[in-house]
A = this chain, B = another copy of it.
C-alpha cells in the first residue's frame, strides 16, 4: 500500500522558505497572500497490506527519522 506523509513546521517555528516564497509572490504581483508555509510531502510504497499495521509502521518511521519532533508535526494517510 501507499502512505502519504505530510511534514509541517510547528506553529511558532520560523519558516524561512515560506517567508521567502510569500515575499517572491508579492514581488511577482500576487497580492492577497497572507501567509505561506512550506513543508515536506513524502510518498512511501509499502509491502504491508494491512492498513493499521502500515500506519503504525509509518508512525514509527516519522518518529525515528522522517520528522524532527522539536520543530515539526506530521500527518499520515494510508491508502
Contacts of A7 in B (CB 8 A): 41
Question: Do residues B45 and A33 form an inter-chain contact, with CB atoms below 8 A?
Answer: yes
> Measured between alpha carbons, how far is A36 from B47 in the docked complex, in Å?
12
Q: How many copies does the complex hold?
A: 2
Query: Interface size for chain A: under 10, 10 to 19, 20 to 34, or 35 or more residues?
Result: 20 to 34
Contacts of A60 in B (CB 8 A): 30
Given A21-B65, A25-B61, A36 and B30 touching (CB < 8 A)? Answer: no
Could you list 17 A-B pairs, sorted by A, with CB under 8 Å?
A: A6-B41, A8-B43, A25-B61, A28-B61, A30-B57, A32-B46, A32-B47, A32-B48, A33-B44, A34-B47, A36-B44, A37-B42, A37-B43, A38-B40, A38-B41, A39-B42, A40-B40
